[in-house]
Amino acid sequence: MTAFTLGEAATLALRGVRMRKPARSGAPHRTGAPVLRDSIEAGTFEDMFFSVPAKGETDRLLRVARRTLDAGRQLAREARAGTRDLTRTERAIAALTAGAVRVYEEMLTLARLNRGRVYPSYDYLAEATKLGRATIARALHILEGIGFIVRQRRFKRVEGEGPGPRYKQTSNVYRPALPKIVMAYLPRWMRPAPVPDDQIQREADRIEETQTMLASLSCRDLARATVGGTLGKMLARLGERIDGLERESQNNPQPLTDSDSTTRTELA
Tens-digit pLDDT profile for residues 117-145: 999 999 999 999 999 999 999 999 999 99
Rounded Cα–Cα distance for residues 27 and 91 (Å): 32
pLDDT of residue 149: 97
Catalogue the E-assigned strands of 28-99.
Answer: 40-41
CB atoms closer than 10 angstroms to residue 68: 23
Nearest to 34 by CA among 24, 44, 43: 24
Find out whether 96 and 146 touch, Cβ atoms under 8 Å: yes
* Burial annotation 92-113 (CB, 10 A radius, 16+ → b, else e): bbbbbbebbbbbbbbbbebbbe
Average pLDDT over residues 254-261: 53
pLDDT band (50, 70, 90) for residue 254? low
38: left (phi over 0), alpha (psi -120 to 50) or beta: left
Q: Dump pLDDT digits (tens) for 176-200.
A: 999 999 998 887 766 666 667 777 7
Q: Supply the pLDDT for residue 5.
A: 52
Going through 36-188 in order, the beta strands assigned E by DSSP cover 40-41, 149-158, 166-176
Q: Which amino acid is it at 111?
A: A
The answer to whether residue 10 scores a pLDDT higher than 70 is no
Instruction: Report the share of the chain in percent with pLDDT over 90.
Output: 47
pLDDT for residue 65 is more than 50: yes
Q: What is the pLDDT of residue 124?
A: 96
pLDDT at 16: 45
What percent of the chain is predicted at pLDDT more than 70? 74
**pLDDT (0 to 100) of residue 164:** 63
- With a cut of 70, say whether residue 247 has pLDDT above it: yes
The model carries a pTM of 0.62
Per-residue model confidence as pLDDT tens digits over 11-52: 554 444 444 444 444 444 454 556 888 899 899 999 999 999
Closest-CA residue to 175 (of 115, 94, 216, 256) = 115
Torsion (CA) 178, 180, 184, 188 in degrees, nearest 10: 50
- The rounded mean pLDDT for the chain is 80
Mean pLDDT of 65-77: 96
Is residue 80 very low, low, confident or very high in pLDDT (cuts 50, 70, 90)?
very high
Distance CA 64, CA 148 (A): 10
> Is the per-residue pLDDT at 59 higher than 60?
yes
